[in-house]
Amino acid sequence: MVSAEKERWTQSKELTPQKRVLARRALEDIRAGRDVFASLRRNPLPDGDGFLNKSMLVAVYRDLVEGGEWEPDPALMAKIRLKPMRTLSGVTTVTVLTKPYPCPGECIFCPTDARMPKSYLPDEPGAMRALHHDFDPYDQVQARIRALHDVGHPTDKIELLILGGTWSAYHKDYQEWFLRRCFEAMNDPWNAVSRGSASPEGDLGPTLAEVQALNETAAHRNVGLVVETRPDHIDKEEIAWLRSLGVTKVQIGAQSLDDGVLTLNKRGHTVQQLRDALGLLRAAGFKVVLHWMPNLLSATLASDRADFLRLWDGLCPDELKIYPTQLLANAELYEYWQRGEYHPYSTEDLIELIADVKTTIPRYCRVNRVIRDIPSTNVVEGNKRTSLRQDVHQVLESRGERCECVRCREVRGQVIEPDALTLDDLVYEADFAEEHFLSYVTPDDKLAGFLRLSLPTAGAPQTGLTDLQGAAIIREVHVYGQSLQVGQEREGAAQHIGLGTDLLQRAEEVAREKGFRHLAVISAIGTRRYYLERGFQRGVLYLVKEI
């Protein structure tokens, strides 16, 4: 584990009897209504050694519950959980990186560091963890689950986010081995000893299919699997392979919707290739995350504003990462800057640009990021602030405007009244598909849950996947709010009150009304049982249902 994770693990597991007494007193204060930090100050460590931390409170709380002395108290756990935002979207994200490997791209804006996969730097938070674990997938997953558990987060619903350049460029045996080891870590994250090989060569462990089958009922289930690749690597064979691996979401670098800009920045693909890739991914039911980069070589503030609008002309990504170009000394773009051929936007101009475009984002899209988490010490010139999202929202507030993307409308920890929710069906046209964004909305326009239903139209790409022939496709079902353990309920929480089931029923009705007789869902490994319990059956690579 990296130092911070190791410290939390040590503190939570090696509490002295005296510290346990103090932690219990603090927990009793908090349960009685006292502020968390006031309770910690009221119960200081002896001899002026400071105060308890939240991970200690979490460890003692769990001991009290597991020992039967206290009843589970979700409200108390919510107060002592560290960084609750990490799981307020309904799942727990675990990020891992693949090993350094040559990327087929030659993009001039990408940093190059021999220690890292292309485009990553060793002092980015997730990259630091990967480097510490020598990019071992088992160790990365295991350490992250432990760290999140120790600070109070549920870890039974894991979205596995795999980063590291172009996933499709890695050898297939490495991909399969990497994911198998990730699943083994999710199946048994408390095992202190990794029992498999540190590389795919000579590894005679269980098959990927075997560990996936175990994960269907494991304590830490995979509810989403995300990889990142390039548009020019997507074809029918690739999507079949991704499904066999259990992938449900694909991140694609669009960067720009202007062929001239793509060429100057040596991106290596065209806008049409991007459009073809997205059409095929959508036809196969994948969720799609696009990366968009303002301030590329030859782009201007005006051209970027126009470029952003092209994202919603048929491409219609489900999620978006806005990654402003950052000038780094170990990227080829640095040479253009030295010659005076490239000029980074100022922080002020960048904030205004993002504020302008953010209000145009459709209500079906989620903006995951608005800046790369690259430490400012790496940036040569231009914006060095990593708090752009907050800066942008301050500007929007001053204008009296707001963004209506999915992330900005999530209920998160808000108490909801199920009877007050309304069901909305937002219909929009993407390339070769009629999309229905079915959502449960609160009276103040917050999202409690949603479902993405894709109805292929004439000319839709042929995937060659038998499960999808003539089928309407459920691409995502997501219920928001603090992630709760499987089977756990909490008053006023969005999860586990039947919203997902209701959305599935409505999707079935819509599909039937549109003339479809088959329904397919792109299920993650750990959500298969959920759909099987609701009338779906196992197909080849999807779960299917006759309607």
* 518-521: strand order across its sheet: 422-430, 433-441, 447-456, 471-479, 518-521, 543-546, 537-538
The confidence score (pLDDT) of residue 373 equals 87
Q: Does pLDDT of 120 surpass 60? A: yes
The confidence score (pLDDT) of residue 191 equals 67
Between strands 543-546 and 537-538, the pairing is antiparallel
Q: Are 478 and 448 in contact (CB under 8 A)?
A: no
The confidence score (pLDDT) of residue 151 equals 81
Question: Coil, strand or helix: which one is 93?
Answer: strand
Closest CA to 449 of 91, 123, 112: 91
Q: Does pLDDT of 84 surpass 80? A: no
The confidence score (pLDDT) of residue 486 equals 46
The confidence score (pLDDT) of residue 126 equals 87
Which token pair is 514?
Answer: 């549109």
Give the DSSP H/E element, type plus range, for residue 449: strand 447-456
Encode burial over 424-449: b for 16+ CB neighbours within 10 A, e otherwise: eeeeeebbbbbbbbbbbbbeeebbbb
Band (2; pLDDT cuts 50, 70, 90):
very low
Q: Considering the chain, what is the average pLDDT of its residues?
A: 91
The confidence score (pLDDT) of residue 90 equals 67
How far does CA 110 lie from the centroid of its chain?
22
Where in the sequence of the chain do the CATH 3.40.630.30 domains occur? 418-546
Q: Are 529 and 500 in contact (CB under 8 A)?
A: no
Q: Are 524 and 222 in contact (CB under 8 A)?
A: yes
Q: Does pLDDT of 58 surpass 70? A: yes
pLDDT single digits (tens) 338-394: 999 999 999 999 999 999 999 999 999 999 999 998 999 999 999 999 999 999 999
Mean pLDDT, residues 493-500: 71
Closest CA to 311 of 320, 302, 298: 320
Band (495; pLDDT cuts 50, 70, 90):
low
Q: Does pLDDT of 229 surpass 60? A: yes
Q: Does pLDDT of 523 surpass 60? A: yes
What is the phi/psi pair of residue 410, to 5°? -65, 145
Residue 340: left if φ>0, alpha if ψ -120 to 50, beta else—which one?
left
Give the DSSP H/E element, type plus range, for residue 174: helix 172-187
The confidence score (pLDDT) of residue 55 equals 85
The confidence score (pLDDT) of residue 238 equals 98
CATH number of 241-409: 3.30.750.200
pLDDT single digits (tens) 234-267: 999 999 999 999 999 999 999 999 999 999 999 9
Where in the sequence of the chain do the CATH 3.30.750.200 domains occur? 241-409
Mean pLDDT, residues 313-326: 98
Nearest-angstrom CA–CA distance, 262 and 159: 31
pLDDT single digits (tens) 439-492: 999 999 999 999 999 999 999 999 999 999 999 999 999 998 654 444 444 444
Q: Does pLDDT of 5 surpass 90? A: no
pTM: 0.89
Mean pLDDT, residues 33-43: 91
pLDDT single digits (tens) 159-217: 999 999 899 999 999 999 999 999 999 998 666 545 566 778 777 789 999 999 999 99
The confidence score (pLDDT) of residue 488 equals 47
* 221-229: strand order across its sheet: 92-97, 157-163, 221-229, 249-255, 287-292, 319-322, 366-369
Q: Does pLDDT of 539 surpass 50? A: yes
CATH number of 418-546: 3.40.630.30
Percent of the chain with pLDDT over 70: 91
Q: Does pLDDT of 497 surpass 90? A: no
Q: Are 360 and 320 in contact (CB under 8 A)?
A: no
The confidence score (pLDDT) of residue 10 equals 40
Q: Does pLDDT of 141 surpass 90? A: yes
The confidence score (pLDDT) of residue 85 equals 63
Nearest-angstrom CA–CA distance, 77 and 31: 10
